Amino acid sequence: MLHLIQFPVTSPNLALPATLLRVQRLSIAKRTWRGEADDGVEFGFALNSPLKDGDTVFETRTTRYVVQQQPESVIEIPLDVAPSAAA
């Protein structure tokens, strides 16, 4: 069953265990997208504004579903000059 989400839960019950909905940065920045939580529950998003990492999007009596942005690879470029000269 697909749950349609239009906005995050405003006052989540933090005592409930969290089930993660892992998303890429490009998806979390959108207002319309679909995702699947770690336990297989599917969600569709039609939002007025994008979500943020850590937002609770849905709750049941036993769990709350929390958006978690997936980590990204980063390229580090070492500079052999003073940082002020790099600009």
Q: Along the 87 residues of the chain, how does pLDDT read in single tens digits?
A: 899 999 999 999 999 999 999 999 999 999 999 999 999 999 999 999 999 999 999 999 999 999 999 998 988 877 777 777 765
Q: What is the CA radius of gyration of the chain?
A: 17
Length of the chain: 87
Domain count, the chain: 1
CATH of the domain at 63: 2.60.260.20
Domain that holds residue 37: 2-71
In a domain, 87, yes or no: no
